[in-house]
Amino acid sequence: MKITVVCPGELGEPEINRWREIQKASPALDNPFLSVDFTLAMGRLRDRVRVAVIEDGGTVTGFFPYERHAFGVGRPLGGFLVTCHGVIATPEFKMDARELLRACRLSVIDFDYLVAGQPTFSPYETDVRPAPVMDLGSGFDAYVEQIRAASPKNYKTVRYKERKLGREHGEVRFDWESADPGALHTLLRWKSDQYQRTGRVDRFAQPWIIRLVEEMHAARSDDFAGVLTMVYAGDTPVAGHFGLRTAQTLVGWFPAYDTAYAPYSPGIMHHLHLAEHAARAGLHQIDMGKGDREYKDWLKTGVLMVAEARVARPSPTTAVQWAGRVPLSRLRTAVVDDPRLFKAADRLLKAYGQAKSRLRPRFRSHQSTRTR
């Protein structure tokens, strides 16, 4: 087995085509964050991105995109920004994960959103959890029947609020695959405000992330594209979402809404329209990402399994990295698993965000600069 490590921009047309061929052949890899297009975009924006090209008997059998940080610490491509990581490989592919790390000049790597059950990494999985999915394989009508049967009161309330929004603020309409950069920046501003308001890390404080989203918004092909959707009341945008899709799967990434319209539940309203138009466009599922949220629990009609894993080779770097990350990760898991602790932590973060909001810079819509 031969492993060659390259920058994404060094991948040739044969390697790019082979990547796409391998991904299409495996349903478990049907996620846009595993697409070569996403890796190429990350490589244009971040110097630390690498790809291990894995060959067996002269045939490329897999690709492993990752980030190499100081002292040989590895991170999955995109880190906390994305919700799917793993090896893009043929189903029968398996190798020693530590040997893969050695070839990549890595001492350790941690995964929070690993495709569960991959033979190379499955021995190192420390936790496997379900990620909620909106299953559209049988069409939108069948999907709606499922969620309405599961909670008729919720469905009735959402539709009532939608009619009320239309009466009070103008006809409700939905824009699928909007190409409007102004609408994109409106959504990012809402999301930035949400991060700050709830005490979370504001992704859009980093210009390269804004640039990445802008590039993904412009991406258009049958197998990979950025999808911006917006709900309007009259001419006023009230909720939206930006995500990525393959030919069959749309992955949730940045949903947000204008808090002035919160009484109308615009986020849930948007997701129902999103499901309807996604089904019309031929998509089979919407992956909402791992995480316990009430709206996800109501909207889901299926799950995908996502794993956490840690692979390490013995080294001083590994020991230091373990001390800094693993105890905190275990604490986070304990909080997520206990509803009372989770609600208390959520309230604390929101209080912190409100207290600090006036001291933080607000998101500004401007032409992003390329940042390495």
Q: Where are the domains of the chain?
A: 2-130+305-340, 137-283
CA dist 190 and 197 (Å) reads 10
Dihedral sign from CA coordinates of 184, 189, 194, 199 = positive
The pLDDT assigned to 345 comes to 46
- Please provide the CATH number assigned to the domain covering 2-130+305-340: 3.40.630
The pLDDT assigned to 105 comes to 95
CB atoms within 10 A of CB 340: 8
The pair of three-digit structure tokens given for residue 13, joined into one six-digit string: 């047309």
CA dist 81 and 253 (Å) reads 9
The pLDDT assigned to 360 comes to 55
201 exposed, middle or buried (CB, 10 Å; 0-12, 13-18, 19+)? exposed
Q: How many helices (H) and strands (E) does the chain have?
A: 11, 13
Residue 97 contacts residue 124 (beta carbons within 8 Å) = yes
| Distance (Å) of CA 231 to CA 215, 269, 347 | 22, 8, 28
The pLDDT assigned to 292 comes to 73
Full pLDDT tens readout for the chain, 372 residues: 999 999 999 999 999 999 999 999 999 999 999 999 999 999 999 999 999 999 999 999 999 999 999 989 999 999 989 999 999 999 889 999 999 999 999 999 999 999 999 999 999 999 999 999 999 999 999 999 999 999 999 999 999 999 999 999 999 999 999 999 999 999 999 999 999 999 989 999 999 999 999 999 999 999 999 999 999 999 999 999 999 999 999 999 999 999 999 999 999 999 999 999 999 999 999 999 987 788 899 999 999 999 999 999 976 555 554 555 554 454 445 444 445 544 554 555 445 455 555 555 555 544 443 333
Identify the DSSP state of 232. Answer: E
First-to-last C-alpha distance (Å) of the chain: 33
Q: Which CATH number fits domain 137-283: 3.30.420.130, 3.40.630.30, 3.40.50.300, 1.20.1560.10?
A: 3.40.630.30
Indicate the pTM of the whole model: 0.85
Residues pairing with 171 in the sheet = none
Domains 2-130+305-340 and 137-283 share a fold: yes
